[in-house]
Structure 1
Amino acid sequence: MKKKILVVDDEQTTCVLLENFLSPEYEVVTKTSGIEALLWLNNNLPDLIISDIQMAKMNGYEFLKEVRLSGFTKHTPIIMLSGNKESKERIKCYQLGAQDYLTKPFNPEELKEVTKKNLFPIHYASNW
Structure 2
Amino acid sequence: MKKKILIVDDELTTCTLLEHFLSTQYDVVTKTSGLQALVWLEQDLPDLIISDIQMTEMNGFDFLKEVRLKGYTKHTPVIMLSGRTESKERIKCYQLGAQDYLMKPFNPEELEEVVKKNLFPIHYSSNW
Gapped runs of 5+ residues in structure 1? none
**Paired amino acid for 1:91:** I
Q: Over aligned residue pairs, what C-alpha RMSD do you find? A: 0.7
**Equivalent-residue separation in structure 1 for 2:52 and 2:8 (angstroms):** 6
The alignment status of 1:86 with 2:95, answered yes or no, reads no
3-state secondary structure, aligned to 2:40 = helix
Gapped runs of 5+ residues in structure 2? none
> TM-score, normalised to structure 1's length?
0.98
Describe the superposition over 1:55-91 as per-residue Cα deviations: whole angstroms up to 9, x where unpaired.
0000000000000000000000000000001100000
**Equivalent-residue separation in structure 1 for 2:46 and 2:119 (angstroms):** 11
The alignment status of 1:36 with 2:17, answered yes or no, reads no
TM-fit CA distance, 1:126: 5.3
**Equivalent-residue separation in structure 1 for 2:127 and 2:70 (angstroms):** 33
Identity of aligned residues (%): 80
Describe the superposition over 1:25-52 as per-residue Cα deviations: whole angstroms up to 9, x where unpaired.
0000000000000000001000000000
* 2:103 corresponding residue in structure 1: 103
3-state secondary structure, aligned to 2:84 = coil
**Paired amino acid for 1:104:** K
The alignment status of 1:66 with 2:66, answered yes or no, reads yes
**Equivalent-residue separation in structure 2 for 1:127 and 1:107 (angstroms):** 23
User: Which stretches of structure 1, 4 residues or longer, exceed 2 Å deviation after superposition?
Assistant: 125-128
TM-fit CA distance, 1:127: 3.3
